[in-house]
Amino acid sequence: MSNEQILSNVKMVLADEVVWGSMFLQDGVIKAIDTSLSTLPQAQDFGGDYVIPGLVELHTDNLEKFMNPRPSVNWPSMSAVIGHDSQMIASGITTVFDALAVGDISPKGDRLTNLKPMLDAITASQQEGLTRAEHKIHLRCEVAHPSTYERFMALKDNQHLGLVSIMDHSPGQRQFAKIEKYREYYQGKYGLTDAQMDDFSELQVANAQKYSQPNRLSITEFCREYDLALASHDDATAAHVDESVGLGMEIAEFPTTEEAARLSHQQGLKVLMGAPNVVRGGSHSGNISAHYLAQLGLLDILSSDYYPNSLLQAAFMLTQEHIGYTLPQAIRTVSKNPAQSVHLYDRGEIAVGQIADLVHVKHQNLPLVQQVWKSGKRVF
């Protein structure tokens, strides 16, 4: 079977322009880009559709839905990874950082129970070549939890670890600066009584006061020493951003205010927002709109977060007139920008020498994934 492929009559979305022509792939790598159509009989005719780089997803907890498809239903972990992977590939995502919670502040949560099974299943699936997308690990470190540092140190040597984020979901902080939003979220999600909610909030405040700063400093020091990409989470104030910059953060995940997003962007952090926020037109937590940040030119990276198919749709929505991104600029938010922010320089762009991670997209009102290639191999 030939390892050479020619894609012709295709609109290639490069980093800075859209080029109509043909592309030559060999040994899983983009070997040539031509602004003319190929006349060779083996060339595949794409009918003028788009080909974009494979999407790079930095923050998704989608695997959790497959691990626990219904309350009290635990699914076999390897089967869960395969199901999750299928949804990623069908959404055009060829590199995915599966977000695993280290420390769980949910009153009835099972994230810590799922942590080791999910980590083991992801690791085994990559070693055995069972997935179509490439899966890497994003450790979400909840600094207000008593065992976060010890758990992080036990996981730090995993070969697939590529991103660490620092989170503080305790009441009165960042995403939950508004106490009423904190109570609304946790009481609604877990069915707590007022008395249970009071006890839960009191415990989280006490834990935050004792553990948050020591955990934050220790974990970020390790990541800087070993060149692991770091992300802040839910920064809301200038003080938060200054702290993030001082700790060596490279990504600002979900800043909750315009001030935090603007300062992060100005100081070189890549501002990451949720693609569902773009598709839905606002944040489910009542924080700053990704639409608005995009209009200000402050949005660098999109993440599908909890809805994989939103990533491609949101990128195309950024090209709407009231937002104003060019198509290459919009596609960079889901490809080159996230890839480079986690030190992956071999993907995320259609360019000679890059891995042939590609997505064939037909745009008819919505962008529709037609085909996907991972390292030059057709996987969807």
Report the pLDDT value the prediction gives residue 114, as an integer from 0 to 100.
Answer: 82
For the domain covering 54-347, report its CATH number.
Answer: 3.20.20.140
**Per-residue pLDDT, 294:** 93
Chunked mean pLDDT (size 10), the chain, 380 residues: 86 97 97 96 96 98 92 91 98 97 69 85 96 98 90 94 90 64 68 75 77 93 96 94 97 95 97 94 72 94 96 96 95 98 98 98 95 97
* Cα–Cα distance, 293 to 191 (Å, whole number): 34
Q: How many CA atoms lie less than 13 Å away from 89 in the CB half-sphere?
A: 21
Element (H, E) at 100: strand 93-102
pLDDT at 1: 43
Element containing residue 150 per DSSP (H, E) = helix 148-155
**What's the pTM?**
0.91
Separation between Cα atoms, residue 34 and residue 49, nearest integer Å: 16
The full set of domain ranges for the chain reads: 54-347
State how far the alpha carbon of 50 is from the alpha carbons of 170, 285, 305, 325, 371, in Å. Answer: 44, 34, 25, 17, 11
Cβ–Cβ under 8 Å, residues 149 and 219: yes
Token pair for 329: 């600029």
pLDDT at 7: 98
Helix axes 194-225, 148-155, angle to 10 degrees: 40
